[in-house]
Chains A and B, each alone.
Chain A
Amino acid sequence: MNKVSRFHLLLIFLGGLVLLFIIAPLAGLFFNTSPKDISDSITDKEVSKSIWLTLLSAMAATLFFSMLAIPLAYILAKKSFPLKRLVNGIIDLPIVIPHSAAGIAILGVISQQSFLGSSLSKLGLNLVGHPVGISLAMAFVSIPFLINAAREGFASVPDRLEKAALTLGASQMRVFFTISLPLAWRGIISGLVMMFARGMSEFGAVIIIAYHPMITPILIFERFNAFGLKYARPVAVLFIIVCLLFFIMMRLLTKEKKNVSNN
């Protein structure tokens, strides 16, 4: 008995160290920043502009790509087809490659030397240094989170409910919109939150595509580089608060009274 409790104490101690590892730097950041510095950052136009740009770019990336990613997640969850494992692997690629390398890869597609870039520039749109380019970079690195969570959501919808709906006269599309989608909603929302949050905090890929206009992670980097830790810290704290607010808000949205798939 005594042995077990000592073992548990050891586990708690080790687990506590991990929590401390996460919390301590963040807490240090907060404690070392005065409220005045934070309020100055809020009124700093450059800061607020970059926060809005970051939020809107991540939001646009999430919403636009969700229209493509959710159907793909459904196919991956419900259908078998040749090379499915390969497709699943491809989806996880952006997670494993360095994000600066991902930025270089995207730049190769949208720069004016590429077919797409030159075609778009003829229409007067240069994606490099453009909010759309920022959204693309954010989407590239964050889309696996949405696809994987949505796929799990769809996989948790029992096949027999979809079959039942078909035998009750529903078309495949109606089954998707009235049964599969509402029942997978929790997984999808959680995926949207993850994609949005991941996109918002992206630095490596975005800095290759667009140093300007400046998203907040780049602004923090620039202030640190140019003026040092003291000047970077208030912006970092403010951005973390904004991220946390969105994170908590969306987690609350996904917190349902009951898991709908549990009948």
Chain B
Amino acid sequence: MFQIINLSKKIDNFFLNDISLKLEKGDYCAVIGISGAGKSVLLELIAGLLKPDKGHIILNGIDITQAKIQKRSVGILFQDYALFPHMTAFQNIEYPLINKGLAKKDRQTLVQNIAKNFDIFNILNRKPSTLSGGEQQRVSLARTLITNPDILLLDEPLSSLDILLKNELIPLLRNINRKGQTIIHVTHAYEEVISLANKVAIIENGKLIQEGTPADVFRNPLSKFTANLSGIKNFFEVSVIKNNKNENIALIDNKIEILFLSDYNVTTGYIVIDSSDIILSDKPLKSSALNNFEGLITDIIPSTLGIEISVDIGVIIYANITATSFNKMNLKRGDKIYICFKSSSIKFYMK
């Protein structure tokens, strides 16, 4: 439904090189990369704010590579919302409808409807400078979505927000996506999108180095950058239950129980265990850590962070240890090993 084929663009010393990506309707694709990796250039190429040197952008079977920005059915939510400061919230949301040539009455109805959906009906007469961060966010989203774009592009929408606003926006984005909106979300922080995206693309130095489902990409990192996304290899979809002490237990594949700390009252989610937080021991270890498992070493691979040990405890858990520790323990494939990690070291993400 949406496809980028061999897209390239050179700007001064930066070169976005041969990017190809394919999305189906309703996909939520996270494009992850550090600042300067080319994420924003990619968004601007898709939106039509920049023209590529080479390659094609196909939307619903039509080549829109050279199409005018105004004819693209692509909406962007800018990092700081880019609300027009001299217009009210109403005028901001109405702006794209005037561009489409809609009659005043139709515009009013549409703006009022979307304002009700986004819970901003009461602030329509206010200027952006008088709105809270959360309200500005919703006005900006309403303005972008009122023309029903086929693709919604998000330019690091969460990175400058405090935790409260993040917790407001994430469910909102999830709901929009569940209604069938295709979304491309660029970010430098994988934590932002881990619970939202069903596709992940890693971009580095202007090149798309890996893409796939979050589990595929994070468990099989093809680059130092992906591997360095802290401990992301231990990424699991879990169901959440409570034990008799009312503590949270994450169940992996309905069999591995992992104790974790969380204030959320939910039944499903994702957990990430940083591979550097896992302690290996050749004997059962008495420690304060509440998560203790016995397993077999299935693989030993030198990694950028030291030595990566894969341990099968029913699922594969990856632990990173230094070369010194590795030599001291004299570990081999097939060895029995004990692993432990603290419940507080587990990052939990809502689904």
Chain A residues in contact with chain B, CB under 8 A? Answer: 158, 160-161, 163-171, 174, 178-179, 182-183, 258, 260-263
Contacts and interface: CB of A to CB of B under 8 A. Distances in A.
A160 B99 contact: no
Contacts of A165: 84, 95
Contacts of A183: 84-86
Contacts of B84: 161, 164-165, 179, 183
Interface string B28-51: 000000000000000010011100
A263 to B, nearest CB: 4
Given A262-B85, A263-B83, A263-B128, A167 B76 contact: yes
Contacts, number: 65
Most chain B CB neighbours (cut-off 10 Å) among A163, A169, A261: A169
Given A160-B78, A174-B99, A263-B128, A169 B86 contact: no
Contacts of B70: 166, 169-171
A164 B129 contact: no
Contacts of B80: 160, 263
Given A179-B84, A260-B85, A261-B85, A163 B49 contact: yes
Contact of A169 (B49, B82, B83, B99): B99
Nearest to B131: A263
A166 B85 CA distance: 16
Given A161-B84, A163-B76, A262-B129, 20 more contacts: A161-B82, A163-B47, A163-B49, A163-B78, A164-B78, A164-B82, A164-B84, A165-B84, A166-B69, A167-B49, A168-B96, A168-B143, A168-B144, A169-B70, A169-B99, A169-B100, A169-B147, A170-B70, A183-B84, A263-B128
A263 B84 CA distance: 8
Interface in B17-72: 44, 47-49, 69-70
Contacts of A164: 76, 78, 82, 84
Nearest to A261: B85
B221 interface: no
A168 B49 contact: no
Interface string B115-129: 000000000000011
Given A262-B129, A263-B129, A168 B85 contact: no
